[in-house]
């Protein structure tokens, strides 16, 4: 895993206004981690605007999404902590 500028922690569904606001501010050096209801975006065809997409495994499994993770990298809680340390800054949407 390489270092990146901003880690966006997104826990909102695509139906929440903050979801679009988050995607609107994603930079090319940024990473996105989907948590809680945010993982539901993986069931849609929405363009997530970055190739560095992570998703939190417990939230993916809870929502019956284990077979629908698109091109995301599944991480557990300790790996999520590592991601926050690799980022220069973190935005919790």
Partner 1 sequence: METLVIIDQPPYGSWTGREALDMAFALAAFDQTASLLFSGAGVNWLRNRQITDAIGQKSVEKNLSAAPVFGISAILADASACRRYGLGPQDLPDGVVLTEMDAKLLARYSHTVFAG
Q: Which residue has the tokens 């991480």?
A: 75
Q: What is the DSSP letter of 51?
A: S
Q: Site residues for partner 1, window 53-72 (CB under 8 A)?
A: 57-59, 61-66, 68
Query: Which residue is associated with the tokens 């300790």?
Result: 78
In the window 12-41, what residues touch partner 1 (CB under 8 A)?
13-15, 36-37, 40
Closer to partner 1 at the Cβ: 30 or 72? 72
Question: Toward partner 1, which CB reaches closer, 3 or 66?
Answer: 66
Q: Which is nearer to partner 1, 12 or 52 (CB)?
A: 12
Alpha carbon of 41 to those of 3, 48, 91: distances in Å? 24, 8, 18
């Amino acid at each position: 895993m390489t270092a990146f500028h901003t880690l966006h922690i997104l826990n909102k569904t695509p139906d929440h206004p903050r979801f679009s606001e988050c995607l609107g501010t994603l930079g090319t050096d940024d990473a996105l981690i989907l948590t809680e209801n945010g993982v539901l975006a993986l069931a849609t065809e929405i363009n997530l605007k970055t190739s560095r997409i992570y998703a939190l495994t417990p939230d993916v499994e809870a929502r019956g999404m284990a077979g629908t993770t698109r091109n995301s990298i599944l991480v557990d809680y300790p790996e999520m902590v590592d991601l926050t340390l690799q980022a220069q800054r973190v935005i919790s949407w």
